[in-house]
Structure 1
């Protein structure tokens, strides 16, 4: 059997990558600099190749090092999850769960849901990353995220399991008394300012294709982002339009601030799902949170369950 790297060698390499140099990595890890260097030298001997070289602003990965880093991070993430799962079996309220969430669930159901979950499992550590599936899929593949909740139009069924949660009607919205509030077609919105999620594929790419069927030839102002706070400012204070679920208007806070632009074109429905990697074994605490999510959506949208 080939000699394999030791876990501490992998963790030391990750520390050097994260800190940009051996000295800072050694300080963070509570090791001496020579010990850290010996660890990396031994790792390179086992692999038979250089992983790091010195650059102008510190150490940088070689081409081989970059390829090794991706696999190494996957291994360390999975091992850390495995250790965490063993602890959770012994103490069910303990553990970590990290998941991705697109804008509407982040605005609507998830804050209250995870607050109640945290009250029940006080020792659980919950991390939520907001964004679209196309931008968070790589983190899901690497095991950095346990699951994703949101619009999963671009999901590959070969890699992921997808559980349908809800289908929502979408519309164009702007602030109350927006200058374009009475427009009845997308053609009348040419030249409008738009705030759209920063995506490279999926549902919002289709939305953008409807807004600009010939491309943005008029160079209308479009700002891309995943920040609700920035989006809110742009919409309410700078007259940007956005596309979102029509049911947002059932919230009293939004009724006072936002109007639906009554265009006759129908935007494609948003299909929201719970997605996780087929080959990824969920930890007990992640399973419990998923059960709460399923139950919550079944209660909120019984007709679709």
Structure 2
């Protein structure tokens, strides 16, 4: 996890920018005026930017200061929303202590909470942060006292977050992502685009659009840092909601699976029954559904849209010898080396069809379109790099 600014410095920055006064910001933050002045100076030094114009009438944000302010206020709003929810929980449970997260929580405490949420334990969180386990444990417990409600609970495997703990961890993680994005915004304003883009991809996602879009983005912004993650829908959705990835590409779920994400459809795709060239069914003019039941299959995991299509196609007929995989590489190899069948988009086997390795069987599946697109966090504010990628992705999907 990257080093982050002091959250109290960020709050002082936001107050000074909105009040146009270091003195009034100090009063509002319950700090001394020298402390606020020092906080502003440290932030300007950290980012190598001049955030304020100092005049006789006060301090006023520069253009870069306004860019920074937009991200800082989004981050502080997330922490403030979490603090309000925790206060409501404390009142409902008749707990009067605590409830001071927004004013007193530190960056170190919130980082510890996010790390525990992502790793599932104190030891793993400590390794992720490069800290000693007692330090992480102490930071987590201090944060819990400030919250005024339980954030953690003991389980047989170690520690788990309570619903309030998960809520705070989610908003803290997104607040940190906003601060990360501030660096990219500031560099873009200076004409430097070398920011970060993290793309989540679902198993068996079509293989043409993503490589083309990433290649086009790299040609436009050769200094950009891009990471492509793969995994199950559940794990990728959680990573998206926690800010670990910026967007998720693949088959959409309708309706959207959570209120804090939104889906954007690019196109609809259809599935075909795929087999190796030379398969006993490949030379027929027509293949009936009952013919498919005589051969073993390679299928995705349960709960995926394609698996649902497979089960609808086969009906209640008991199928044995299934191989489940979310790896397109493994699936292609199994099809080429055996008489197994699978359901895929033909666009996923473009290269294998051209090479004479795989083919689509003449099976009437009916109209089974799948919506393909991106899943994003609701109220997400992309950087310039991320906006450019979405535009390229939309163009390549046409």
Band the TM-score falls in, shorter-chain normalisation: 0.7 to 0.9
Residue 166 of structure 2 aligns to a residue whose secondary structure is helix
Contact map agreement 1:105 1:150 (CA 8 A) in 2:
yes
- 1:200 is aligned to 2:294: no
CA distance in 1, matches of 2:382, 2:240: 12
2:186 pairs with 1:87: no
Hey, what does 2:328 align to over in structure 1? Answer: 228
- Structure 1 residue 164 and structure 2 residue 261: aligned? no
Cα shift at 1:204 = 1.6
The reply to whether residue 41 of structure 1 matches residue 141 of structure 2 is yes
Superposed displacement of residue 56, structure 1: 7.0
Q: Structure 1 residue 60 and structure 2 residue 163: aligned?
A: no
CA deviation map 1:17-61 (0-9, x unaligned):
638445x6556545455544432332232234555577777x423
Which residue of the partner structure matches residue 75 of structure 1? 171
Q: Is the 8 A contact 2:297 2:341 kept in 1?
A: yes
C-alpha contact (below 8 Å) 1:85/1:284 kept by paired residues: no
Q: Give the corresponding residue for 2:216.
A: 116
Q: Which residue of 1 aligns with 2:108?
A: 8
- For the Cα contact (< 8 Å) 1:103–1:130, is it kept in 2? yes
Bigger strand fraction? 1
Instruction: Identify which range, 107-116 or 263-272, moves more after superposition.
Output: 263-272
Query: What secondary structure sits across from 1:91 in the alignment?
Result: helix
For 2:341 and 2:264, the matched residues in 1 are separated by 31
Query: Would the alpha carbon gap of residues 193 and 135 (structure 1) be closer, same or farther in structure 2, given more than 3 Å must change?
Result: farther
Contact 2:213 / 2:389 at 8 angstroms: preserved in 1?
A: no
- Report which stretch shifted further, 46-55 or 5-14: 46-55
1:191 aligns with 2:294: yes
Look up the match of 2:369: 269
Specify the SS of the correspondent of 1:116. Answer: helix
Using the size of structure 1 for normalisation, the TM-score is: 0.79
Secondary structure at 1:84's aligned position in 2? helix
Q: CA deviation at 1:82?
A: 0.9
Higher mean C-alpha displacement, 33-42 vs 75-84: 33-42
Q: 1:14 to 1:134 in 2, by over 3 A?
A: closer
- Aligned CA distance change for structure 1 residues 33 and 101 (closer, same or farther; 3 Å): closer
CA distance in 2, matches of 1:37, 1:252: 52
Pick the aligned partner of 1:289 from 375, 384, 389: 389
**Structure 2 CA distance for partners of 1:199 and 1:160, relative to 1, 3 Å:** farther
| 1:227 Cα offset (Å) | 0.8
Distance 1:83 1:250 in 2: 41
Size of the aligned set, in residue pairs, is: 290
Shift of 1:119: 4.0
Q: Structure 2 vs 1, CA of residues 196 and 34 (structure 1 numbering), >3 Å: closer, same or farther?
A: closer
Offset, 1:189: 1.0
How big is each residue's C-alpha offset from its partner over 1:149-186, in whole Å with a ceiling of 9 and x where there is no partner?
A: 22225342965544332233321111111133236111
Bigger drift between 152-161 and 273-282 goes to: 152-161
Aligned with 1:239: secondary structure? Answer: coil
Instruction: For residues 219-264 of structure 1, give each alpha carbon's deviation from its aligned partner in whole angstroms, at most 9, with x where no partner exists.
Output: 3322222211211221111332111223456546544101221123
What's the TM-score once normalised by structure 2's chain length? 0.62
Instruction: Judge conservation of contact 2:281–2:287 (CA < 8 Å) in 1.
Output: no
Indicate conservation of the 8 Å contact 2:216/2:392, yes or no. no
Structure 1: 5+ residue stretches without partners:
299-305
RMSD: 3.2
Distance 1:209 1:274 in 2: 25
Q: Quick check: which has more Rg, 1 or 2?
A: 2
CA distance in 1: counterparts of 2:233 and 2:127, whole angstroms: 36
